[in-house]
Chains A and B, each alone.
Chain A
Amino acid sequence: MEEKKSTNTKPRIWIAGLICAVFMTVFCGLIYPLVMTGAAQLTMPYQANGSLIYVEEEDGSVVCYGSELIGQEFTQPQYLIGRPNTGSAAASNLSAVSEDQAALVQERIDWWHELDPENTADIPMDLVTASGSGLDPHISPAAAEYQVPRIARERGMSEDEVRAVIAKHTDGKDFGFMGEDRVNVLMVNLELDGKKIIS
């Protein structure tokens, strides 16, 4: 008699397994993420929606210039330029020590020298290596400093003016020890272009 009441028979286990899988799909797959979406949208809408940059143009129109967190491709000399693959290609996935990688790095070194033949300083490593995401919004402060004379010359600004803009968009290590110091390339360029950010 005891065995009959059991919820532990093989058929009951199959039924429980099915119900449990469906129940967890609803609870963990709909309720949990939707509640979190609601909470995030209510309390931190700017971050939850991708840290988008809206700019009011001179004619009064509003343009979305992408996200603070997503790098864009820059190639012209008057702009601060980011990692080599930004906005154009995913990670190379090449072995760090391969000949293919060495050849690519040499191409990038040549590109930088062609862009600014006057600059004979050593190029910072992050300017000749591809990022993992292909969307890296940052470069190191050294990589920004490397480009200061060129940007100042192209824009007719003083080097210190350019440095001041860069400094404004430079973040130190979080809490002084996490990660690296970094410069947000897009934010620097928006300011250099005099764009008015409204959110």
Chain B
Amino acid sequence: MSSGVIQDIVYVIALIGIGIPLGIYIYKVMTGKLTWKPIAALERFTYKVMRINPEEEQTAGRYALSALTFSLFGFGILFALNMLQGYLPFNPEGIEGTSAHLAYNTTASFVSNTNWQAYSGESALSYLTQMAGLTVQNIVSPAVGCAVLFALIRGFQRRESRTIGNFWVDLVKATYYVMIPLSIIVTLLLVSQGVIQNLSAYVHATTLESGAEQIIPMGPAASQVAIKQLGTNGGGFFGVNSAMPLENPTPFSNFVECLSLLLIPAALCFSFGRAVKDSKQGRAIFIVMLVIFLLALIGMTMSENVAAPQFDGVAQSGSMEGKEARLGVDTSALWATATTSASNGSVNSMHDSYTPLAGGIQMFLMMLGEVVFGGVGCGLYGMLAFAILTVFIAGLMVGRTPEYLGKKIQAFDMKMVCLVILTPPLCLLLGTALSTFVPTITDDFTNTGAHAYSELLYAYTSGAGNNGSAFAGFNANTVYSNMGIGTVMLLVRFIPMVAVIFLGGNLAKKKLIPASSGTLSTSNAMFIILLLLIVFVVGALTFLPALALGPIAEFFKTLPTLG
């Protein structure tokens, strides 16, 4: 068995092996069943400073308002840091403030848990902006996702209740008990491998052969890289993200980062099962995600190895363009699959240089709505929206009122589900289509033909999936793209989020219907297959035409009989 296959298998085992206990831990923490004195004291202090009463519960409306105000003020602080960094401390390189449109894009990107990089960290941002701006949103934006997920879960747990928890408590607990402790562990693991963590000025070294000056960028990278992976953020400390050796120096650091990026979204499936008192429900959702993930992983690895271009006089090998020698083809393909499944978007190799079908799989994973693990919280609430859609369709087929986890699914619920499922494709396709009308857009491509269109499609796919990875040959730092993609990222983050909160609020008001012999099981193999099909069919119906013009067209061009 090749080492690449062994690595894939160990990866999946580690994901499940750590995911289950972590999921149970998150469930206990978020429901207040587990506290630890020092953190509890810090929690109480935080509530006191915020002048809120943690015992007081919120309705869906107040919960949504809290989530939005918090994100809005976070937006303001990060935008200001971007613009004013030239006047602020922790800036040994004297980096100036960014342009307003780039600041808007970067801010939208991090507040929406996307981490699309129109900026290049080492040349555009000061250490203060990286720490007090980006790192903060890296920690709190997944915490917001986690909070909203639990608001939805309470909708299933409760009966005839007006409230769905308290946003501030959910946010603070997710931050203090989950994000920060995991980040500390991963930071130290990464530093031990050689990821930098300092506040020094850039080092001016001498090269061996030519004696030329070599500038080595420095900074507090490890603390940000840790949460960038754990929080499904993905925005690199450096421009080339985790391909940069100072951000990802060894295959072991790579494994840690790659595992971190799926860990919390996978664990939340098991938290969900615990929370609805039926761990089979969480397992069913996890299996659906894992099956799609494995299919994509096999496709990606095959395409990169088998469909790689070969050249006369060069030894046969997989596609190495844009990949690092320490990582190689299989390790890079594993990461590429994980990062586009989770809405992480960090990269350890250049997606633009992947073989056509591998690039197509990356886009398709994002187009499925980032529900194959997806972002922290939002991946699972997206998948639960698909689960509700599945029981709805199944209900229509047999003529019964659909129900999920003992809650009747009615018109209002389905409207919210549609908002969750349809907002991203709408923004994605309209954004791509409108952009093709911008006359200057062709100046921003590196590639030509079908692949140039793929660069544009990938950009809006990434924005509309809150993913953040890129076909980096596309120059996104223009006024048009910064504004366009920035706005898409905000819409696809906050419209579904508010819809999910109101869905949770509406479900909480309902009575519980006891399961009967006519109830559709939502944890057996039949349901798993149905849910898989619904996710695939919605994705395929929406996006096959768009994909046909890009990666699929490019693939057919490589076939010898047609090319």
Contacts and interface: CB of A to CB of B under 8 A. Distances in A.
Interface string B293-321: 00000000000000011011111011111
A29 B311 contact: no
Nearest to A64: B205
B84 interface: no
A65 B214 CA distance: 9
Contacts of A101: 309, 321, 353
Contacts of B62: 8, 13
B208 A50 contact: no
Interface in B133-160: 133, 135-136, 139-140
B291 interface: no
Contact of B250 (A26, A179, A195): A179
Contact of A91 (B216, B319, B322): B322
Contacts of A10: 65
B473 interface: yes
A111 interface: no
B494 to A, nearest CB: 14
Interface in A69-126: 69-76, 79, 83, 87, 90-98, 100-102, 105-106, 109, 113, 122-126
B328 A179 contact: yes
Given A30-B131, A134-B240, A50 B216 contact: yes
Nearest to B55: A7
Contacts of A92: 321-322, 350, 353, 446
Given A95-B352, A131-B325, A136-B325, A177 B6 contact: yes
B209 interface: yes
Contacts of B447: 93-95, 98, 100
Contact of B313 (A12, A109, A137, A175): A109
A135 B325 CA distance: 11
A178 B252 contact: yes
A37 B199 CA distance: 8
B192 A32 contact: no
A97 to B, nearest CB: 5
Nearest to B127: A33
A151 to B, nearest CB: 13
A158 interface: no
Interface residues of A, number: 105
Contacts of B282: none
Given A7-B56, A22-B77, A109-B313, A67 B205 contact: yes
A179 B322 CA distance: 15
B223 interface: yes
Instruction: Indicate the member of A20, A25, A174 with the most B CB atoms within 10 Å.
Output: A20
A83 B325 contact: yes
Interface in A156-191: 173-180, 182, 186, 189-190
A40 B192 CA distance: 9
Contacts of A190: 208
Interface string A3-17: 000111010111111
B251 A179 contact: yes
Contacts of B168: 16, 20
Contacts of B317: 124-126
B3 A177 contact: yes
Contact of A132 (B76, B240, B318): B240
B352 A19 contact: no
Contacts of A148: none
B191 A131 contact: no
B69 A36 contact: no
B199 A177 contact: no
B311 A73 contact: no
B70 interface: yes
Instruction: Indicate the member of B56, B77, B320, B355 with the most A CB atoms within 10 Å.
Output: B320
A135 B326 CA distance: 12
Contact of B188 (A40, A72, A74): A40
B344 interface: no
Contacts of A128: 311, 314
B209 A40 contact: no
B214 A87 contact: yes
Contacts of A16: 50-52, 66, 69, 168
A65 B209 CA distance: 10
B533 interface: no
Interface in A36-71: 36-37, 39-41, 43-44, 47-52, 63-71
B199 to A, nearest CB: 6
A22 B194 CA distance: 32
A18 interface: yes
A90 B249 CA distance: 17
Given A123-B315, A180-B325, A96 B56 contact: no
Nearest to B197: A40
Contacts of A48: 191, 196-198, 222
Given A36-B220, A91-B322, A12 B52 contact: yes
A19 B45 CA distance: 13
Nearest to B210: A73
Interface stretch (B179-187, B366-374, B377-385): B179-187
A79 B312 CA distance: 25
Contacts of B140: 24, 28
Instruction: Indicate the member of B135, B180, B558 with the most A CB atoms within 10 Å.
Output: B135
B448 interface: yes
B195 interface: yes
A8 to B, nearest CB: 5
Contacts of B204: 64
Given A8-B58, A24-B139, A132-B322, A96 B314 contact: no
7 contacts: A15-B51, A28-B135, A48-B196, A132-B323, A132-B349, A138-B326, A179-B326
Given A93-B352, A113-B313, 7 more contacts: A28-B175, A49-B218, A66-B208, A93-B353, A94-B353, A132-B349, A193-B208
Interface of A: 6-8, 10, 12-26, 28-30, 32-34, 36-37, 39-41, 43-44, 47-52, 63-76, 79, 83, 87, 90-98, 100-102, 105-106, 109, 113, 122-126, 128-140, 142-143, 173-180, 182, 186, 189-190, 193, 195
Interface of B: 3, 6-7, 10, 46, 49-53, 56, 58, 62, 65-66, 69-70, 72-74, 76-77, 131-133, 135-136, 139-140, 168, 171, 175, 180, 183-184, 187-188, 191-200, 203-210, 214, 216, 218, 220, 222-224, 239-240, 243-246, 249-252, 254-255, 308-309, 311-315, 317-328, 331, 347-350, 352-356, 446-449, 451, 454, 471-473, 554, 557-558
| Shortest beta-carbon contacts, A-B, top 6 | A179-B251, A17-B69, A93-B473, A29-B132, A132-B243, A125-B317
